[in-house]
Amino acid sequence: MGWSGAATVEDAEIADIFKHLAARDNLRMRAVSLSHEEIDGFYQGFSNGIIWPLFHDILKNCNFNPTYWPIYCRVNRKFAEVLARETTPNDFLWVHDYHLMLLGQELSRLQLPNRRGFFLHIPFPSLDFFRKLPWRRQIIDGLLDFDLIAFQTDRDRHNFLQCAEALAERFTVATDGPQVTHVRFLKRTAAGANAWRTIQIATLPISIDYSKMAADAASARVQHRMTQLRADLQERQMILGVDRLDYTKGILHRLRALRLTLERHPELRGKIILVQHLVPSRESIGDYAQLRRDVEQLVSEINGQFRTPDWVPVQYLYHSLSREDLLAYYRTANIALITPLKDGMNLVAKEYCAAQIDEDGVLILSELAGAAAELQVGALLVNPHDIECTAERIYQALVMPRDERLERMQRLRRTIRNHDVFQWAEAFLTAAAAPQAPVSKGAQMDSTQVTTAL
């Protein structure tokens, strides 16, 4: 269940689309309609104008407009009302991401007895940053109405625990394990009384469908496209960037590091090319439009500084990629350069490794990406703010002996294969079914019925 992505789309039109998708994937699907006002206040305003930059530690991009908050509450209430109509008491409700942090609380107000879990795909900020949010107590209180709250990394779990301890009433850690923490606190019930409540806080990093990614990368169509790309390179090494247009992705830092690499190692000029794919995103938000202009200006400066009649150091493409083309670029690239300033996970890093069926590529990854916790086994880690270090890692990757490249990529692919998206979903549902978090009277979890709110 989720927002359709459009404003007030006719229910019949959405129903036809969902009927086709549901039949293909054996799902039951339901759209929640949003008005233009709700899109502006809930999605672009509170979710992406406040929570997104704040949770990524970019305070200057936050617009703490007080009109956004009641609309955010209203949309969470709307989701809860649809869920109340669409589910049975035995369904487990799996809620995803920062747009719906109040949904557990709204479900409690409707007295739905269902077990419910929440997964945050983005980082959770430290207490110092979270305190900047005017509605910090309401957000913590809303999240604590879930039976399980899961995060991408231990860093995010610990940040949340610190914030909850500071803001929730009589919040204490009952047991603290390597992956799951049980906490106890006082919570006001729907009837207005205070009651003790125990829930789970877990670290459960998301992943990808490794087997399908690897199999698709080996297809004849991808192989043919890869052959074309390699011919176009004329034996140059490809450095690949694939990102949504977003100020958290460190795209400008990456470009500056490439420029420094070419300045310090002139022997590389004419022998490498950075192919930067930038996928359009949130173009109606001013910060994103400005970022695009800044990126295009810097690309122009670098190409103007180094280009020759037969070589341009940066190939910049502002577009959406087909899966086939994306896999071909993954397989062709000698280096994937992934440098977010902060990221919940960054699945591009995992996709690149899964598609590297020849196991000859090098992953350069920001240590501030959630994926770094798992992929440090083979990636070259960088601080994206350290332009000199990133430049040296680019050079190190370009001259790395083949045996080392193979060994590093084999370790990366083994890690991702052993912790794929199915293992992640199984771990979440197993944790959610654990008996430590009490359930409202009469509710039981049927693991075959899971309703997901997006």
Catalytic residues: 121, 343
Residue written as token pair 């990406």: 369
Whether 145 and 113 have beta carbons less than 8 Å apart is answered as: no
C-alpha 391/C-alpha 372 separation (Å) is: 19
The upper half-sphere exposure of residue 415, i.e. CA atoms within 13 Å in the direction of its Cβ, equals 21
Whether 347 and 206 have beta carbons less than 8 Å apart is answered as: yes
* CA dihedral over 29, 30, 36, 42, signed as positive or negative: negative
- 346-349, long-range: CB within 8 Å, 24+ apart, which pairs? 346/370, 346/371, 347/206, 347/207, 347/208, 347/371, 348/242, 348/243, 349/375, 349/379
Whether 327 and 190 have beta carbons less than 8 Å apart is answered as: no
Burial 183-213 (b: 16+ CB within 10 A, else e): bebebeeeeeeeeebbbbbbbbbbbbebeeb
C-alpha 108/C-alpha 113 separation (Å) is: 8
Alpha helices, DSSP H only, in 320-371? 323-332, 347-355
What distance separates the 2 farthest-apart alpha carbons in the chain? Answer: 76
Whether 182 and 175 have beta carbons less than 8 Å apart is answered as: yes
Helix (H, G, I), strand (E, B) or coil at 218: coil
Q: Write a three-state SS string for 5-32.
A: EEECCCHHHHHHHHHHHHHHHCCCCCEE
Q: Locate 164 and state its tokens.
A: 């909850």
Q: Locate 7 and state its tokens.
A: 């404003």
Burial 61-80 (b: 16+ CB within 10 A, else e): bbeeeeebbebbbbbbbbbb
Q: 112: how many CB neighbours lie within 10 A of its CB?
A: 19
Name every residue whose Cβ is closer than 8 Å to that of residue 159 and which is 6 or more positions away in sequence: 123, 124, 125, 126, 127, 130
C-alpha 126/C-alpha 11 separation (Å) is: 41
Q: Locate 378 and state its tokens.
A: 């083979």
Query: If you ran DSSP here, which 8-state letter would residue 248 be given?
Result: T
